[in-house]
Every structure is written in structure tokens, then in C-alpha cells.
A and B are shown apart, each in its own frame.
Chain A
């Protein structure tokens, strides 16, 4: 037994630099994409870096991108952990957003649907919303960890039913909340010059990074994702980790739902976070994370999310219609993914290798 451990230790230092290199190369790749988009923007719009203060809010291209990407960033943080631990995806996050926001809206409006006065304290309503998200996450987690379902199928249940459930919670109505304090979370807290969405998304990133770096959670998630059976032999409870990851994803999706509904000033269960799950998965993949689980990088995901939003904003600026946006998005994604694929890189290396060898033979 001891022998095995010492063997592993001797292997570790040899492997780690290589993996780290690989990871960093992936990270640099998504960074390069982001840079290209930014440079393209600078060329087409000279005002790209200009930041002005209007109505006591910092505004401009970059703050706009940061603001619009905030929901995506929050959701994809949870998605990263789910993908890393289970090797599957959580496609119910959009629906969870709607459910959490519906809970919150119902608490605030009360049974009489009064739009101006809060029926219950604001923070209690937020807490209930988050709890709703956690509950949905726990349901997903139970299916995956307890019943050993594939994550995609398990979350498919809430994906199809979630919006309908949210509709039932709000009795089929769009909830409007006129109280100005409701907009604090999604627009601006008076006196603070930065949009609250940006602050919230940064805080969430910080929390998740601290959680995964300072505690052993990140390590546990990775080891469960790489090999569940062997991490069990080491003494990790893979089931608990998987369950926890889904609950975290649920809470984060709930938070995104609260922020999203707050910036709209209403809860529309049919529209809130629609198709966001697909963008979130994309953000994780663009960030260089393997969708098959294991090693993950929060930084990569965050960069991926901002890249997607930057591409979207750029395309809008180029007068692409919203419904046609998907074509360009798809083409860009394909190019990025192909260029980032190991097989493609290998082929390029072979091609260039041949050229070098030819040169050498000619020279010799």
C-alpha cells in the first residue's frame, strides 16, 4: 500500500508541469480570442475605451459588456463545477432562474399582487429565492448522486418542467414590482457608480474562487471528476461531492435569476434566462475546460463568458439582427473549437514538422 503511494508521488511532479502547460495554453487561447474581439472593436469603434459617467453610473462599451455578461458569468461558475465533478451538464439552470425569481416575486407581491408595497421583507424574499434555487439543485443532485442518472437526463426533467412550474407559482402572470428598492440588485444602488450586476458577478467569482482554492472543495471536485471510483478508494464521498456541486449550481442559478428579474423590474417565467444554459456550457468549453470532467479552471470559464458577450455585443454593433446572431455565433464557435482541438493542433504540428524536416534534409 505504502509503495503505491510513494509511486504516485514520484509520478506527480513529472506530470504536473505538463498538465499545467496544457491548461495554460488553453487559457491563453481563449484570451487570444478575447483579444481579437477587443482589437476588432477598437478598430471599428474608436470610442471603445471611453468611459463616461451618466446619471451617476459608469457607462461605456466595456462596462456594458461586463454588465450584460453578468448573468452568464454567475450561471457558468456553477456549470463549471457541475461539468468538472460529473462530466455531464446541468441544462436546467435557465429554468431554475425562472423558479427562483418567481418565488422571490411571489414573496414580494403577496397574494394580492400589490406592485408598489412589499408583502414581506426584501431580504427574506431574496433568501427564499435562493432557497428555491438550492431546492431545485438538490433535486438534480439527488437524481444524479442518489439514483446515478446521467446529469443531462436528470436535469432534462427540470429543464422541461421548470418554466411551467414557475408559471404555476406566479399563477401564469408576469409579476411587476414597482418598488424602487427592487432595482437595487439588478441596476444600481444609489450612490454607487458601478452597476450592481457587475459587483454581484465579481463577488460571486471571488466567492467561488476562494471556495475552490482555499478549501479542498476544488481538489475534491477534480478528483471525483477524473476518477470517481478511485477517489472513493481514497476516502472521498463522491456522491456527496456530486450532490453539493448541483446544489451550488442551483444556488448560483437562483442568484442569477434574482439579478435578472431585478434588472428587468419584473418576473417573466417564460423569458427569464431563456437559452442561457447553452451559453453557459459554451462559456465553460470556450474557457478550455473539458466537458468530460476533471480538471477545471474558473478563470477560463469567466474569460469564456466575457468572450461570448463581447462577440454578441460586437455583432450587434455591426448591425446584425438579434435572430440572425446565432448563425455568426455558431460559425465563430466552430472555428474556435476546431482551432483549439487537440487533433487539429496535432495535424498542424505534423505539417509544420514535415516542413522543418524537409528543410533540414535539404540543408544536410
Chain B
């Protein structure tokens, strides 16, 4: 009985039918290979800049924890075939609200946590309602969400606000050292790798999301409505509610991302979070999510974010001082990756990629296909 339910889980059959499983797998493989290659290349090319150190690797997490949050939220909505471009604005708004709250020590720093989450949730709920229940185009809704957030930042405070609250700064500068991961410096001291609280929160949420998307009914219905909302509806999935919840989740993650960003860069500035929605979308896409919906994995998003962080670190080492080059190189990277994605998915449609799969995998896919046909 239990097994029966497993095979008829919504989304699973659909997933294989659209060859989503194989596509997702291939795209994930490319992303991870690319990251490893990039890291190996920077190891060889820049021997002096410590890429072999654990601390440098862990700093990629520490510096981009907020981007991971935003990108994960976007992955969730992209899987449902929707989009959210308000996350950058929400990030900026949250950091400005936190900075204003902590001005002159007026409020306890603990209050900033529920407030950031509440701001994110509010955006998620309103946008989700408009998109899911009133069926307005997500791009327009979240575009006005972005406008609203950007404008609200300037309504609250149009100038830069530094954060000096002791409690908050202690969170911001806290480091969790990992004692067994260290490199000896030349003078004999140890350079121990560490994680910031922001990175830990991000990793925990990443793990929760991986499990949610893989194992829960909600996670599977996200893929189902992204793949084909019509058949998802016929399967008995509440498409509207799932879409609504996806946007609420994205808003929530944007709120958390805003909080983590403020931990990383503790000040409220009207320009904070500008353009982060684009960074998040490109990380998500490099991580293998497809804007048409139905395809994407949180773990891929992690590698998308890591690639983003790595490029940001490597480009200055190439001796390029001009600030405009990292953007060009990141875009070139995005270009290369989407081309690769397109080539592979086109090949996948024609069945060409099967040659790349080992035999046992092929058998497995076929078996599962048969099972779904039977059920």
C-alpha cells in the first residue's frame, strides 16, 4: 500500500515522462564539474593567493550566504514556472529597517530577526496572493514589489545609516572555527577555517530545502505544477495553493537573506541589494534551474552561488582593476553556461545525451518509466 502511494506521488511520473530527471542530472553534473574545474584552475594559476587553504574555500560560503538564500527562493519559484524579481528590493528594505531600528540603541537586536522575517513574509503573501489567486503575471506583480521596496527604503531613510549596536555586531563578527580544518602559515601559526553564523543558517536552510523538495508532498507538487499545471490540476494538486506557498517561501527566504546580508554588511544604505535579483536569477540558472518550470535543484543553486562567488574572487587576481570587468566576465560565464544548457537539453530532446549515461542508469530510467506507465 505504501509502495503504491510512492509510485503515484504527484510529479514523480511527470518528471520522468518529461525526461526532467536526466536533464536535471546532466545540468547538475555540468555545474559541479564547472565549479571544480574553475577552482582547480584558480589553484594552479594563482599559487600565491591561497586557494589551497580551507579558509578561502569556506569564505565563499561566508561571503555569499545571503545570495544563497535569495537564489534558493528563486529556485523554488522558478521550479513552479514563476519568477520573483523583488528579492533584491526586499534585501535592501530589510537592511534599512534593521539599521533604522538599531539606531541609537532604541530596540533590542533580537527584535530584528522576527521583523526581517515578517517583512519577507508580507511581500511573499501579498505577491503570492496576487499571482496565484488573482492570476496576474508574476513578472508585473514582483516588478511592482521591487518598485515598492526600493521606494520604501527611501521613505524610511534616504541616507546611509551605520549599525553600531553591540549585540548585532557581535553576531556579525562571530566566527565558528572548525578546529580540524587548518593550514600552517609560514610563521607557524594556524590559519583555521571558520563559518559565520550567516553561513551556518544558510547551510541549514539549504539542507531543509533539499529534503523538502525531494521528499515532501509539497516539494513534489512544486515540480508537478511547474512541469504542467493542467495535468497537475487533474492529478488533484491544489495548483493555486502550491503556487501561493512557493511565493510565500520565496518571500520568507528573501527576508532571511536580507537579515544575513545585514550581518555581512552591517549598515543601511539606499543602494543596498540593488541588482541582487539578477545575481540570484543567474545563480539559479547556472545551477540548472529552467525558467520554463519543472526543472531545478537546490543543490545546483548552491554551486551556482559558489561559482558566482569564485568569479568575484578570481577576477581581481587576473590583474584587472577596472570595476566593470567582473560583470562582463560573469555575463560571459552566464552566456557560456546557458549555451551549454541549451545544447544539452536540445540533445536530450533528440535522445542524444543517452550516450553519456552509464548503462545501469539507462536501465533504471527505463524501469521507472515502465512503472509509471503501469500505474
Residues in A lying within 8 Å of B, measured CB to CB? 89, 143, 147-150, 152-154, 156-161, 163-165, 167-168, 172, 278, 281-282, 285, 290-292, 321, 323-331, 333-334, 337-338, 341-344
Contact = CB atoms under 8 A, between A and B. Distances in A.
A157 B331 contact: yes
Given A326-B151, A330-B151, 4 more contacts: A148-B342, A157-B335, A164-B327, A291-B139
Interface stretch (B38-46, B152-160, B174-182): B152-160
A39 B339 CA distance: 51
A281 B172 CA distance: 39
A149 B342 contact: yes
A167 B130 CA distance: 39
A328 B151 contact: yes
Contacts of A343: 133-135
A285 B140 CA distance: 8
B30 interface: no
**3 smallest A-B Cβ distances: which pairs?**
A326-B151, A327-B151, A161-B331
A329 B147 contact: yes
User: Secondary structure of the A side of the interface?
Assistant: helix
A291 B270 contact: no
A158 B150 CA distance: 23
Interface string B125-152: 0000010011111011101111110111
Most chain A beta carbons < 10 A, residue from B158, B290, B338: B338
Interface in B309-334: 322, 324-325, 327-328, 330-332, 334
B148 A153 contact: no
A282 B342 contact: no
B122 to A, nearest CB: 14
B334 A160 contact: yes
B324 A167 contact: yes
B328 A165 contact: yes
A364 to B, nearest CB: 34
A330 B322 CA distance: 35
Given A157-B335, A281-B140, A327-B152, A164 B324 contact: yes
A325 B135 CA distance: 26
B256 interface: no
Contact of B322 (A172, A282, A344): A172
Given A323-B151, A334-B130, A153 B145 contact: no
A323 B140 contact: no
Contacts of A156: 278, 281-282, 331, 334
Nearest to B281: A156
A87 to B, nearest CB: 10
A330 B135 CA distance: 18
Contact of B140 (A329, A333, A342): A333
Interface of B: 83, 130, 133-137, 139-141, 143-148, 150-152, 154-155, 158, 270, 278, 281-282, 285, 290-292, 322, 324-325, 327-328, 330-332, 334-335, 338-339, 342-343, 346
Contacts of B285: 153
A324 B270 CA distance: 11
Most chain B beta carbons < 10 A, residue from A158, A164, A281, A328: A164
A317 B19 CA distance: 56
Given A143-B338, A161-B327, A337 B140 contact: yes
Contact of A160 (B146, B154, B290, B331): B331
Contact of B147 (A154, A327, A344): A327
Nearest to A290: B137
A324 B136 contact: no
B153 to A, nearest CB: 8
A334 B278 contact: no
B156 to A, nearest CB: 10
Contacts of B146: 278, 330
A330 B147 contact: yes
B154 A324 contact: yes
A148 B154 contact: no
A167 B346 CA distance: 35
A291 B137 contact: yes
Contact of B154 (A278, A290, A292, A321): A321
Most chain A beta carbons < 10 A, residue from B282, B328, B339: B328
Most chain B beta carbons < 10 A, residue from A161, A323, A328, A343: A161
B140 A282 contact: yes
Nearest to A165: B328
B342 A147 contact: yes
Nearest to A91: B278
Contacts of A321: 154, 158
A285 B137 contact: yes
A108 B363 CA distance: 65
Nearest to A147: B342
A329 B152 CA distance: 11
Nearest to A160: B331
Contacts of A291: 137, 139-140
A328 B335 CA distance: 36
Contacts of B147: 278, 326-327, 329-330, 333
A157 B278 CA distance: 10
Contacts of B343: 147
A278 B342 contact: no
A341 B141 CA distance: 12
A203 B285 CA distance: 39
Contact of B144 (A154, A164, A172, A330): A330
A32 B324 CA distance: 44
A89 B138 CA distance: 13
A327 B137 contact: no
B155 A327 contact: yes
Contact of B330 (A149, A160, A328): A160
